[in-house]
Structure 1
Amino acid sequence: MRQKRATATGDGVDVIVGQWAAERPELETLPMEVFGRIYRISRLMGDRVERAYAPSGIGRGEFDVLATLRRAGEPYTLSPSQLSAALMLTTGGMTGRLDKLERAELVQRIPDPADRRALRARLTAKGRQVVDEALTAGLAEQAAALNQLPATQREQLAGLLRTLLAAC
């Protein structure tokens, strides 16, 4: 069993692990420490990034759709089912997002040239400008947090997380 190191600067996860150590000292809590911190970092950074998107007039959900279209490259067009699959959303959830983005003139629905019964979502020029601004602002927030680590540790962390994600 691994012993918990005493640190002068603990966090909420340390508190939880300490409580479990008192109640169930036989438990190996390293997984809780790792995944508890990953979860908390994800939530905190998600909130920071969403605040960075706000001046562009979009939230995280809208950003995800716009960014998926932007990453698709010219002509920045995908079917709603392709968007749903990429974002792991139901078709109903995607329809709601596309409706909102279309009202804001950030995307437009156009006929699918391969299937006259279907539509495709296309990023507008305004949508491209909005997503590019939001992306820059969101990356700046993420970089500010990561810059608390030396460059070598940032690279190491990215590699370790890639390996861990592949194992999940």
Structure 2
Amino acid sequence: MDDDLQPMDRVARIQADWRRERPDLDTSPQGVIARLHRLAGHLTEELCVVYGRYGLSEGEFDVLCALRRAGEPYERAPGELAAHTMVTTGGMTKRIDRLERAGLVTRRRSDDDQRGRIVALTPSGHALIDQAFTDHMRNEHRLLSLLTPAETEALEGLLTTWTSRVEGLRPSDGK
């Protein structure tokens, strides 16, 4: 389908409403931001289906992946896990507790600092995350197959650039 002939999507309808109601405002950023927001919701939903097949939440999946990526002996301190995941340090304890109850990780005192803890994958956690990550990659390939390889490459470049610039900003003061 020719891009110029695509039907008006939800975001375009919202922008049209705002142009009618507030013609004094430039709503063009919504064309990108709102679509990314909607897409993120759809992608999260699609990704969580795979995590759910393994009894994992998105954050738990992320923690197991961080441990698996650590290489042998597949362990990290909780602070390291927070730095290597999208999970905050505050949410880390709850996730580790649940993963430990499920027999997927263990905790032990650090050899270097007896006050510190080390979280490690168990053999069953290792097997589970290897299988779950394989399915996760298959799912991500499926989702990206909706774009051409050139579109995927261009989008990755744009998102990489934009992410690095946004992450360099200070939080907005609302102005």
TM range (shorter): 0.7 to 0.9
Q: Is the 8 A contact 1:49 1:137 kept in 2?
A: no
Find the partner of 2:149 among 139, 148, 151: 151
What SS does the corresponding residue of 1:108 show, helix, strand or coil? strand
Q: 1:66 deviation in Å?
A: 0.5
Q: State yes or no: 1:102 paired with 2:100.
A: yes
State the partner residue of 1:23.
Answer: 21
Partners of 2:138 and 2:12 lie apart in 1 by 28
Amino acid in structure 1 at the alignment position of 2:140: Q
Q: 1:92 deviation in Å?
A: 4.1
Structure 2 unmatched runs, 5+: 167-175
Q: 1:93 deviation in Å?
A: 2.1
User: Which gives a bigger RCO, structure 1 or 2 (Cα 8 Å, sep 6+)?
Assistant: 1
Structure 1 pair 90–160 and aligned structure 2 pair: CA distance change class (3 A)? closer
**Larger deviation, residues 5-14 vs 119-128:** 5-14
Q: 1:137 deviation in Å?
A: 1.9
Structure 1 pair 100–158 and aligned structure 2 pair: CA distance change class (3 A)? same
User: How many residues in Structure 1 have an aligned counterpart in Structure 2?
Assistant: 164
- After TM superposition, what 4+ stretches of structure 1 lie above 6 angstroms from structure 2? none
Q: 1:78 deviation in Å?
A: 0.7
Find the partner of 1:74 among 72, 75, 84: 72
For normalisation by structure 2, the TM-score amounts to: 0.85
Amino acid in structure 1 at the alignment position of 2:98: K
Amino acid in structure 2 at the alignment position of 1:98: I
Amino acid in structure 1 at the alignment position of 2:106: Q
Q: 1:54 deviation in Å?
A: 1.5
Partners of 1:133 and 1:41 lie apart in 2 by 26
State the partner residue of 1:134.
Answer: 132
What SS does the corresponding residue of 1:116 show, helix, strand or coil? coil
Q: Is the 8 A contact 1:45 1:142 kept in 2?
A: no
Partners of 1:15 and 1:135 lie apart in 2 by 38
Amino acid in structure 1 at the alignment position of 2:118: R
Q: Is the 8 A contact 1:50 1:138 kept in 2?
A: no
Query: What's the Cα RMSD here?
Result: 1.9
Q: 1:151 deviation in Å?
A: 0.6
State the partner residue of 1:44.
Answer: 42
Structure 1 unmatched runs, 5+: none
Q: 1:111 deviation in Å?
A: 2.2
For normalisation by structure 1, the TM-score amounts to: 0.88
